[in-house]
Chain A
Amino acid sequence: GENVEQHPSTLSVQEGDSAVIKCTYSDSASNYFPWYKQELGKRPQLIIDIRSNVGEKKDQRIAVTLNKTAKHFSLHITETQPEDSAVYFCAASHNQAGTALIFGKGTTLSVSS
């Protein structure tokens, strides 16, 4: 089955700096890669996703890149703000309604002002 590795486990940056979180996946058939932000005690919130037919997607300060050959994808947050502090999870799955997401172990991002 799919296995998703995520690094780093913790990341501390100064406000305004960029943050990068990286994930690798094992199943070459996976073709959907979402990123979730989870605040303490809350549900995961989708912040951006990418499908395997594109290499990069951007939404304001957030971007995701995908390298299918190397089976890795990354989350980039620019101009970080204290409210970006949370746990971020990457995930991977097949593009089918009955397929679960397999999550990475998460990255705790701390943005200090």
Chain B
Amino acid sequence: GAVVSQHPSRVICKSGTSVKIECRSLDFQATTMFWYRQFPKKSLMLMATSNEGSKATYEQGVEKDKFLINHASLTLSTLTVTSAHPEDSSFYICSARASSLGTSGSPSYNEQFFGPGTRLTVL
């Protein structure tokens, strides 16, 4: 089945440092990946759409200079939280949609697969 991995699963850092989170599609190619942020007991809020080989598209209110996204290949997108502050503490989840229809057992065109999430705590 389709698997999306995310690393690290948990990170604690000091205020002012930068943190990089990796999102990988392990067994399918993903032209597009998405980054969500989830506060405790809240819904998933779309932060940005990451497109392979081009600039990410950020949602309104999300600072592109603070949340740097790079999608260097069809299987890897990274989110870097720059100069992190305590208010950036959150659960960050990536997801990927398959680039094409697959054979039996492969991702279908619509389904979106989520990574396990990264718990960021900024002290």
A interface list, Cβ under 8 A from B: 32, 34, 41-46, 49, 51, 89, 93, 95, 97-106, 108
Q: How far is the CA of A12 from the CA of B111 in the complex (A)?
A: 29
With A97-B98, A98-B31 in contact, is A44–B44 under 8 Å at CB?
yes
Q: Is the interface of A mostly helix, strand, loop or mixed?
A: loop
Which B residue's beta carbon lies closest to that of A105?
A: B43
Among B43, B100, B116, the residue within 8 A (CB) of A104 is B43
* Interface: B78 (CB within 8 A): no
Q: 18 A–B contact pairs at CB < 8 A?
A: A41-B117, A42-B117, A43-B114, A43-B115, A44-B114, A45-B114, A51-B110, A95-B110, A97-B97, A97-B99, A97-B109, A98-B97, A99-B97, A100-B34, A103-B43, A103-B44, A105-B42, A108-B41
User: B32–A98 contact, CB under 8 A?
Assistant: yes
Q: How far is the CA of A104 from the CA of B44 in the complex (A)?
A: 8
Ranked 4 nearest A-B pairs via Cβ: A43-B114, A98-B32, A105-B43, A100-B34
18 additional contacts (CB under 8 A) given A49-B110, A97-B98, A103-B44:
A32-B110, A34-B110, A34-B112, A41-B91, A42-B117, A43-B116, A43-B117, A44-B93, A89-B44, A93-B112, A95-B109, A97-B99, A100-B34, A100-B46, A101-B112, A104-B43, A105-B42, A108-B41
B interface list, Cβ under 8 A from A: 31-32, 34, 41-46, 49, 51, 91, 93, 95, 97-100, 109-112, 114-117, 119
| Residues in chain B near residue A41, CB distance under 8 A | 91, 117, 119
Q: How far is the CA of A86 from the CA of B121 in the complex (A)?
A: 24
Which A residue's beta carbon lies closest to that of B93?
A: A43
With A43-B115, A97-B31 in contact, is A102–B46 under 8 Å at CB?
yes
Among A49, A89, A105, the residue within 8 A (CB) of B111 is A49
